[in-house]
Structures are given as C-alpha cells and as structure tokens.
C-alpha cells in the first residue's frame, strides 16, 4: 500500500502518465494515467488493507 501511495504521489494523481502491463493478457500500454484525483486506502490492520484504483489508457 505504501508503494502505491508513493507511485500515486509521484504521478500527482491523474496528471502523470506511466506504462501499464495488463495482467489479463500481458499487453503493455505505454500511456496510461490514474482516472481519479483521489486514492482511498482502508487499513484493516498495520500495513494491510484494501484500495481500489482505475487506470485509464490515454490512447483509446
């Protein structure tokens, strides 16, 4: 969860772009962004919890 936070901060929410490999078929999309300017992390215990995020391919 900490690494996701760091990455999200580094990309400044939906501003930045990055490469993402689709875990379903292994296709690499070179120009993706987070779709939201909010990242919600629910900690169930120390350093463990849930989060959800949507990654958008900028070149549809």
Partner 1 sequence: MLYYPQLSTGTLAQYPLRKTLHKRTILNECLDNSTVKLADPAASQVQWDLNYAGLSQAEWDAIATLFQAAEGRLQTFVFADPAGNLLRWSEALSSTVWQKDGLVQLTPGMSDTAGTTRATQIANSGQITQGLSQAVTAAGWFRYCFSVYARSRTATTVTLTRSTVDGTQSQTETLGSEWRRLESSGQIDGTAEEIVFTLEIPASGTVDVFGFQVEAQPQASPYKLTTNQGGVYSQTRFVDDFISPIIVGINDYSVQAKLVSKAGD
Interacting residues toward partner 1 by CB under 8 A: 1-3, 5-6, 8-9, 12-16, 37-47, 49
List the structure tokens of 15. 């501003």
Min dist. Cβ of residue 57 to partner 1 (A)? 13
The CA-CA-CA angle for residues 30, 32, 35, to 5°, reads 175
Question: Which CB sits closer to partner 1, 25 or 46?
Answer: 46
Min dist. Cβ of residue 58 to partner 1 (A)? 8
**Whole-angstrom distance, CA of residue 41 vs CA of residue 44:** 10
Q: With contact defined as beta carbons under 8 Å apart, do 6 and 16 qualify?
A: no
Min dist. Cβ of residue 9 to partner 1 (A)? 7
């Amino acid at each position: 969860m900490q690494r996701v936070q760091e990455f999200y901060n580094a990309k400044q929410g939906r501003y930045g772009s990055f490469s993402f490999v689709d875990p379903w078929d292994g296709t690499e999309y070179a120009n993706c962004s987070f779709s939201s300017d909010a990242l919600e992390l629910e900690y169930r215990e120390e350093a463990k919890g849930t989060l959800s995020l949507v990654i958008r391919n900028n070149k549809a």
